[in-house]
Chains A and B, each alone.
Chain A
Amino acid sequence: MKRFLYALSFFILLAVAWHMAVRAGFWSPVLLPAPESVASYLWSSILDGTLEQATLVTIRRLLVGYCIGLLVGLPLGLLTARFKICEDTIGVVALGLQTLPSVCWVPLTLLWFGQTENAMLFVVVMGSLWSVVIATDNGVRHVPPIYARAARTMGSKRFHIWYAVILPASLPFLVSGMKQGWAFAWRSLMAAEIYVTILTGFGLGQLLHFGRELNSMDQVIGIMFVIVVIGLLVDKILFSPWEAFLHRRWGTAGS
Chain B
Amino acid sequence: MNPLSRSRCLISGDSPGPSALNSQETPCERAAPAQAKVVVENVSKIFVTKRGSAEALANISLQVNDGQFVCLVGRSGCGKSTLLNIIAGLEKPDCGRVLADGKPVTEPGADRMMMFQESALFPWLNVIENVLFGLKLKPNLTRSERFEIAEFYLRLVGLEKFMHANIHELSGGMKQRVALARALAPNPRVLLMDEPFAALDALTREQLYTDIQQIWEQRKKTIIFVTHNVREAACLGDRVLVFSRHPGRIIEEFVIGLRRPRDINSVDLANYTSVIIRALKGTLGFESRGKPLGQIEVAALSS
- B124 near A151: Cβ-Cβ < 8 Å: no
Whole-angstrom distance between the alpha carbons of A146 and B88 in the complex? 14
Q: A41 to B138, alpha carbons, bound, how many Å? A: 63
| Bound CA–CA A171/B168 (angstroms) | 16
Interface flag for B290 (CB, 8 Å):
no
Known contacts A154-B133, A155-B109, A160-B137, A251 near B124 by CB under 8 Å: no
Contact with A along B156-200 (1 / 0, CB 8 A): 000000000011110000000000001000100000100000000
Q: Please give, as numbers and ranges, the residues of chain A lying within 8 Å of B90 by CB-CB distance.
A: 149, 152-153
Judged by a CB distance under 8 angstroms, whether B108 is at the interface is yes
**Other-chain residue from A151, A169, A171, A249 in contact with B133 (beta carbon distance below 8 A):** A151
Given contacts A155-B110, A248-B166, contact A149 B120 (CB under 8 A): yes
Given A146-B116, A146-B120, A249-B124, residue A154 in contact with residue B134 (CB < 8 A): yes
B96 shortest CB reach to chain A, Å: 20
CA of A160 to CA of B139 in the docked complex: distance in angstroms?
14
Bound Cα distance from A251 to B121, whole angstroms: 14
Contact B124 A171, beta carbon cutoff 8 Å: yes
- Smallest Cβ distance from B292 to chain A, in angstroms? 30
Name the prevailing secondary structure of the A interface residues: helix
Most buried by A among B116, B126, B133: B133
Interface size on B, as a range, is 20 to 34
The reply to whether B122 and A147 contact each other, CB–CB distance below 8 Å, is yes
Q: Write the chain A residue with the least CB distance to B185.
A: A154
Interface bits A111-148 vs B (CB < 8 Å: 1, else 0): 00000000000000000000000000000000010110
Q: Which of A147, A154, A168, A252 contacts B110 (CB 8 A)?
A: A154
Check if B118 sits within 8 Å of A146, measured CB to CB: yes
A156 within 8 A of B: yes
User: Closest Cβ of chain A: how far from B93's Cβ, in Å?
Assistant: 17
Residues of B contacting A156 in the complex (Cβ-Cβ under 8 angstroms) = 137
- The yes or no answer to B114 lying at the interface (CB within 8 A) is yes
Interface size class of A (residues with CB under 8 A): 20 to 34
What residues on A are CB-neighbors of B116 within 8 Å? 146, 149-150
Q: Is A249 a contact of B166 with CB atoms below 8 Å?
A: yes
Give Cα A168–Cα B130 distance, bound, in whole angstroms.
Answer: 13
B123 within 8 A of A: yes
Q: Which residues of B contact A68 (CB under 8 A)?
A: none
Cβ B118 vs Cβ A168 within 8 A = no
Docked pose: A150 CA to B114 CA in angstroms: 7
The reply to whether B124 and A169 form a contact with Cβ atoms under 8 Å apart is yes
Given contacts A153-B90, A154-B134, A155-B137, contact A250 B123 (CB under 8 A): yes
**Which residues of B from 96 to 137 have beta carbons under 8 Å from A?**
107-110, 112-114, 116, 118, 120, 122-126, 133-134, 137
How far is B138's CA from A252's CA once the two chains are assembled, in angstroms?
Answer: 32
A250 CA to B190 CA, complexed, in Å = 31
Q: Point out the residues of chain A lying under 8 angstroms from B118, CB to CB.
A: 146
Q: Hey, which bits of chain B sit against chain A, CB under 8 A? A: 88-90, 107-110, 112-114, 116, 118, 120, 122-126, 133-134, 137-138, 166-169, 182, 186, 192
Which 9 A-B pairs rank lowest in CB-CB distance, beginning with the nearest?
Answer: A251-B168, A155-B110, A154-B134, A153-B114, A150-B120, A168-B124, A152-B108, A155-B137, A146-B120
Given contacts A154-B134, A154-B137, 7 further A-B contacts (CB under 8 A): A146-B116, A150-B120, A153-B112, A153-B114, A154-B113, A168-B125, A252-B168
The contact sample of 16 A-B pairs, CB cut-off 8 A, is A149-B114, A149-B120, A150-B116, A153-B89, A153-B110, A154-B113, A154-B133, A155-B108, A155-B109, A155-B138, A156-B137, A164-B133, A168-B124, A168-B125, A248-B166, A250-B123
